[in-house]
Chain A
Amino acid sequence: MPDQLTEEVIAIIAREQRLAPEKIRPDATFQELKIDSLDGVNIVFALEEKYNLTIPDEVAREMTSVGQVIEALRRQLGQASAV
């Protein structure tokens, strides 16, 4: 059973890419989902807006799969809540 953050990230990627959420597995790569670099920055922007945080460029660059997005976001949110 995916956790809430996983579900939310998948929902955002689905919305931005015009994909059905059930087509997006947590282990899918951006390449498999045909998410190019411009799509990628768009997804990062949508996450920043949703969670009201700033994702540094070096973190954004690591996001090349759904799982990496979720893990990086989890770290960022953890840091944000620790402040």
Chain B
Amino acid sequence: MVTPPQRPPRRTTIAAPERLELLHDGTPVPPVRGGRAADLDATRVRAWWVGFSEQVRERAEELTELDRLAGDGDFGHNLRAAVRGADARLDRTRPGDVSGVFDAVTQAFLDTGGTSGPLLGMWFREFSRATGATLSTEDLAAAARAGLDTVQRLGGAQLGDKTMVDAMGPAADALQDAAHAHVPVVAALGAAYRAAADGARGTEALRARRGRASYVGDVARGVVDPGALAVAWFFERGTVV
């Protein structure tokens, strides 16, 4: 008889809005001076991506449920299709640098229909553009800032419109602070995660003004925006590579 391998315990739980509070511990990230040695290489960024991809594959239904309550219910399905496409591209192209990993992700997301997938694709594209062989905190800060600008320019959403921007914006600010304080990458990702999760949780109280949820008005109040939550998941998985 074959014993199935034990799954490692999930490190965090952030999907359910009320459980998000527990994770946002508010602990300040200790400023640790890290040299280039602390930067992430393609292997570790790939591991980060795989963690995010697994989380999306396993928990897409939670995103779909949020979207069903406040949008048209296809977000989880579309995001799962996009990460599957990204995984297939990564398996096929096996990029040796960080920029290449994000480029494969970008191409996959730009190959999905709708609006959230392509917008996330253009966000990831800035991560590809800002990085080279490795990923530093400074690269991350530049990518998150440029990504936020691109998504806002293309999608037209402002902070507080109950969209993915509500997680991307605080994450960009947190990464900028982390870059100024010379925080190593993984710690910076932790700060970005906390800021993004906080932003995602904040969408619960908002009325949508952009995106599909804007069509249902007050019905969307009390529901976390699934795009913002997915952005928080993305940064979260970067803290365990």
Are both chains from one complex? no
Interface residues of B (CB under 8 A from A): none
